[in-house]
């Protein structure tokens, strides 16, 4: 397959067509009017030489644009993909970016390796940071140095960076209060990870003090507004299995007998965690919501519940992604980016009820 011979360039095409390179270039970019006869000559020459269009590398060096937007995801890609919230956000993002971008470059922001962030040498026009952790700062620094527009979705960034945020604390407080008003006094929470290490363990003052993930801390603070001394467990990630394991620990001894001091309500920081908690409860013979109230957070279509509707706070994930994309577009057009704040909405389901006596 033509390995010997070098690829045709636009100069070759121009020569073959008997026009100048600029004319040939213009035929492909379509930005200037070209006489029909000329265009045909060029197209024919291109076809004859097997020229498929400008080399994107050269074009992007020249124009300064690659048409690529980098998305830096916290942690491994595998985690990111498993989380339906991220998935939906990406969806909104690609949507908003469709008009200006050829594609989305997925970059991992792995806290484990010590190389400079991959974003340092990726040919992107702009960057979106999603739920990044400790390394977010480092990434931001690199991005700023490179002078790239950047938008942060739910991460810690300075005030000078456009961000898409959620009322995590308020929303958590709302649903926790709802649980309290139902009459619950012994509530426990299952939180997302406190730090990039992602360890499943009981919540302690020390661990909390060392925490770095602000989503987790904000939601926890909201929970504490209603249950100042509620106990809790941090999950290793937003997974059904994690919710299951955490809830088992909260509800039962290791031998499977129910704990006497078990909570009457579990406030989970994600719907997936809540689904796992419900599954654990059912396995232990506790019915939801009669014997145990379980509420979630996110409002994704929770797949594991049969016909049971989860009581939760619904967050506008699609809109968050779209808003980030829109800001990127704005900034690429030279306007300043703006932060956008979203609020969650309480969604009554069937998994919360007054405690049994």
Partner DNA sequence: TTGTATGCGTTATCAA
Partner DNA sequence: TTGATAACGCATACAA
Residues that bind DNA (CB under 7 A): 6-7, 9-11, 18-23, 25-26, 28-29, 31-35, 37-38, 53-55, 57-59, 61-63
Least distance from C-beta 26 to DNA, angstroms? 6
Least distance from C-beta 313 to DNA, angstroms? 47
**Tokens of residue 241, six digits:** 């299995």
User: Closer CB to a second copy, residue 53 or residue 183?
Assistant: 53
Closest-CA residue to 194 (of 235, 227, 250): 235
Closest-CA residue to 85 (of 304, 276, 313, 317): 317
Identify what 281 binds: DNA, a second copy, none; CB under 5 to 8 Å per kind. Answer: none
Identify what 9 binds: a second copy, DNA, none; CB under 5 to 8 Å per kind. Answer: DNA
Identify what 1 binds: a second copy, DNA, none; CB under 5 to 8 Å per kind. Answer: a second copy
Residues 157 and 140 sit within 8 Å (Cβ to Cβ): yes
- Binding-site ranges for a second copy (CB under 8 A): 1-2, 7, 50, 52-61, 64, 66-68, 70, 76-78, 81-82, 87-88, 90-91, 94, 102-108, 118, 120-123, 142, 144-147, 240, 275, 279, 282-283, 303-307
Q: How far apart are CA 101 and CA 149, in angstroms?
A: 14
238 C-beta neighbours (distance < 10 Å), count: 25
Task: Provide the 8-state DSSP code for 298.
Answer: B
Q: What are phi and psi of 165, to 5 degrees?
A: -125, 170
Least distance from C-beta 104 to a second copy, angstroms? 5
Closest-CA residue to 179 (of 295, 268, 67, 79): 295
User: Closer CB to DNA, residue 46 or residue 190?
Assistant: 46
Least distance from C-beta 43 to DNA, angstroms? 12
Identify what 196 binds: a second copy, DNA, none; CB under 5 to 8 Å per kind. Answer: none
Q: DSSP readout, 215-272? A: HHHHHHHHHHHH-TT-EEEE-SSS-HHHHHHHHHHHHB-TTSPBPTT--SEEEESSHH
Identify what 23 binds: DNA, a second copy, none; CB under 5 to 8 Å per kind. Answer: DNA
Residues 232 and 202 sit within 8 Å (Cβ to Cβ): yes
């Amino acid at each position: 397959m033509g390995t010997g011979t070098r690829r045709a360039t636009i100069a070759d095409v121009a020569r073959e067509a008997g026009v100048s390179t600029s004319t040939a270039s213009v035929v492909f970019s379509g930005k200037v009017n070209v006489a029909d006869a000329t265009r045909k000559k060029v197209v024919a020459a291109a076809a004859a030489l097997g020229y498929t269009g400008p080399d994107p590398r050269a074009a992007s060096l020249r124009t300064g644009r690659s048409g690529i937007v980098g998305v830096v995801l916290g942690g491994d890609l595998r985690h990111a993909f498993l989380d339906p919230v991220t998935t939906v956000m990406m969806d909104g993002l690609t949507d908003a970016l469709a008009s200006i971008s050829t594609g989305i470059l997925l970059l991992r922001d792995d806290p484990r390796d010590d190389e400079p962030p991959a974003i340092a040498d990726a040919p992107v026009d702009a960057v979106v940071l999603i739920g990044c952790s400790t390394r977010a700062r480092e990434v931001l620094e690199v991005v700023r140095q490179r002078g790239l527009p950047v938008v942060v979705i739910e991460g810690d960034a300075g005030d000078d960076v456009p961000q898409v945020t959620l009322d995590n604390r308020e929303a958590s407080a709302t649903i926790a209060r709802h649980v309290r008003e139902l009459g619950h006094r012994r509530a426990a929470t299952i939180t997302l990870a406190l730090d990039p290490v992602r360890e499943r363990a009981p919540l302690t003052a020390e661990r909390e003090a060392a925490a770095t993930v602000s989503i987790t801390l904000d939601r926890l603070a909201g929970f504490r507004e209603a249950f100042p001394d509620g106990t809790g467990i941090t999950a290793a990630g937003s997974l059904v299995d994690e919710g299951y394991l955490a809830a088992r620990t909260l509800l039962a001894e290791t031998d499977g007998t129910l704990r006497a001091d078990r909570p009457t309500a579990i406030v989970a920081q994600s719907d997936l965690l809540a689904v796992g908690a419900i599954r654990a409860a059912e396995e232990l013979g506790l019915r939801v919501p009669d014997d145990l109230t379980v509420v979630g957070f996110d409002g994704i279509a929770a797949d594991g519940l049969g016909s049971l509707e989860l009581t939760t706070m619904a967050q506008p994930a699609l809109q968050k992604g779209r808003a980030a994309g829109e800001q990127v577009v704005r900034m690429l057009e030279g306007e300043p980016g703006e932060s956008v704040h979203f609020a969650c909405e309480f969604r009554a389901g069937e998994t919360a009820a007054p405690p049994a006596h």
